[in-house]
């Protein structure tokens, strides 16, 4: 083992017994009707897809996600992206598994600092009922909030990604409020703080931020769970029916269209802004993620999945 990080992998490189987290695996059938296993591997520096050809159905059942594996194979390039042709893969022993946190991608800021910022924004909320609701929710889930990702695979799917997403959105909202002084920042801040909070029920995540969907998450999703939860918590803090309804609408509509999980489009300004701030932060994260494996002036050879388009990394100095 040469301790080669994923971001240091190059086309044509042979690796032997490198230690990576198996993030995802799925048995698939190729056009020649032979089975192969589709992998995604991660370490602290990045991620790479992998393929193990000529696999068997029984072999596929042996692999566990969110576990460290020794991986051997050859780095190739497919449609502009690096991937591993895996020749062998074996689970690391238990004493090595205990160090999995050393291999996990994390938000660029400490969870302690991000949580402190979230509470500072709650202090900006002048409406005492809304402030009390936000504080009660974050107090209840403070432990999980410290390490939860914002997604299993897509944007902010790193340890602390939930808080990273929320605090960045709050900063964007604060900036917008200087330009549009008619924004009700109490509702915009509260909507940002609460719109994704039931991702804590939609997913199960360990303290490394490695997540998978719960049964409740698969059957309902964080929007529907969130509406029910905010209804319960609103009663506990004595939130008025009107304020409760407005918050529920913000949660319900923040994905904008039915195809993305929202059955209503935003019907007031703060709900509209919540959607666009959410999208700005997600898109910015996804573009920057794509840039990590792109040279300046290059375009991806295939569409980036989360953006549904090819991506150019501009060379602004040329």
- Span 112-128, pLDDT tens digits: 999 999 999 999 999 99
For 6-102, CATH number? 2.40.50.140
Q: Report the pLDDT value the prediction gives residue 2, as an integer from 0 to 100.
A: 61
Could you please report the per-residue DSSP string of 53-114?
-S--HHHHTT--TTEEEEEEEEEEEETTEEEEEEEEEEEPPHHHHTTGGGG--B-SS-HHHH
Residue 120: CB atoms within 10 A of its CB come to: 11
pLDDT tens per residue, range 219-238 = 999 999 999 999 999 999 99
Q: Is it the case that residue 259 has pLDDT exceeding 90?
A: no
Strands 35-42 and 47-52 come out as antiparallel
> For 238-248, what is the mean pLDDT?
97
Most confident range (mean pLDDT) of 46-60, 125-139, 291-305 is: 125-139
C-alpha 210/C-alpha 311 separation (Å) is: 27
Place 1 in a pLDDT band, splitting at 50, 70 and 90. low
From the list 160, 188, 195, the residue with the least C-alpha distance to 172 is 188
Reported as type and span, the H/E element at residue 231 is helix 222-237
For the chain, counts of helices (H) and of strands (E): 12, 7
Q: Report the pLDDT value the prediction gives residue 130, as an integer from 0 to 100.
A: 97
pLDDT tens per residue, range 125-168 = 999 999 999 999 999 999 999 999 999 888 898 999 999 999 99
Q: Is it the case that residue 247 has pLDDT exceeding 80?
A: yes
Backbone φ, ψ for residue 3 (5° rounding)? 55, 55
Looking at the DSSP assignment, which residues form a beta bridge with residue 304? 309
pLDDT tens per residue, range 160-196 = 999 999 999 999 999 999 999 999 999 999 999 999 9
DSSP 33: S
> For 74-101, what is the mean pLDDT?
89
From the list 102, 88, 112, the residue with the least C-alpha distance to 45 is 102
Looking at the DSSP assignment, which residues form a beta bridge with residue 36? 28
C-alpha 273/C-alpha 291 separation (Å) is: 27
Q: Report the pLDDT value the prediction gives residue 121, as an integer from 0 to 100.
A: 98
Cβ contact 212:152 at 8 Å: yes
Distance between first and last Cα of the chain: 39
pLDDT tens per residue, range 55-67 = 888 887 889 888 9
Reported as type and span, the H/E element at residue 19 is strand 14-29
C-alpha 76/C-alpha 83 separation (Å) is: 5
Residue 168: CB atoms within 10 A of its CB come to: 22
Q: Which two tokens stand for residue 173?
A: 């909202």
Cβ contact 130:190 at 8 Å: yes
Q: Is 308 helix (H, G, I), strand (E, B) or coil?
A: coil
Token pair 């964007």 in the structure block, residue: 172
Mean pLDDT of the chain: 92
User: What does pTM read for this prediction?
Assistant: 0.81
Backbone φ, ψ for residue 29 (5° rounding)? -115, 130
């Amino acid at each position: 083992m040469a301790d080669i990080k994923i971001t240091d992998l190059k086309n044509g490189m042979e690796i032997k017994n490198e230690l990576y987290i198996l993030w995802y695996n799925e048995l698939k059938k190729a056009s020649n009707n032979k089975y192969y296993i589709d992998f995604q591997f991660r370490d602290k520096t990045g991620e790479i897809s992998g393929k193990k050809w000529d696999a068997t159905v029984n072999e596929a059942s042996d692999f566990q996600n969110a576990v460290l594996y020794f991986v051997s194979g050859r780095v190739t390039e497919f449609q502009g992206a690096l991937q591993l042709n895996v020749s062998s893969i074996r689970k690391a022993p238990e004493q090595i598994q205990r160090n999995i946190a050393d291999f996990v991608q994390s938000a660029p800021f400490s969870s302690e600092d991000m949580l402190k910022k979230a509470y500072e924004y709650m202090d900006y909320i002048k409406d005492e009922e809304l402030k009390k609701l936000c504080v009660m929710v974050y107090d209840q889930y403070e432990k999980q909030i410290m390490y939860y990702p914002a997604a299993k695979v897509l944007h902010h799917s790193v340890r602390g990604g939930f808080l990273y997403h929320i605090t960045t959105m709050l900063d964007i909202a604060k900036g917008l409020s200087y330009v549009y002084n008619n924004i009700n920042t109490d509702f915009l801040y509260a909507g940002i703080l609460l719109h994704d909070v039931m991702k804590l029920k939609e997913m199960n995540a360990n303290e490394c931020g490695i997540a998978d969907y719960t049964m409740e998450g698969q059957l309902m999703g964080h929007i529907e769970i969130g509406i029910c939860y905010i209804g319960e918590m609103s009663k506990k803090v004595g939130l008025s029916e009107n304020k409760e309804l407005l918050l529920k609408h913000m949660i319900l509509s923040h994905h904008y269209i039915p195809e993305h999980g929202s059955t209503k489009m935003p019907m007031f300004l703060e709900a509209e802004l919540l959607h666009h701030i959410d999208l700005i932060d997600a898109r910015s994260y996804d573009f920057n993620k794509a840039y990590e494996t792109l040279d300046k002036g290059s375009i991806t050879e295939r569409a980036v999945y989360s953006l549904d388009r090819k991506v150019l990394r501009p060379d602004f100095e040329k």
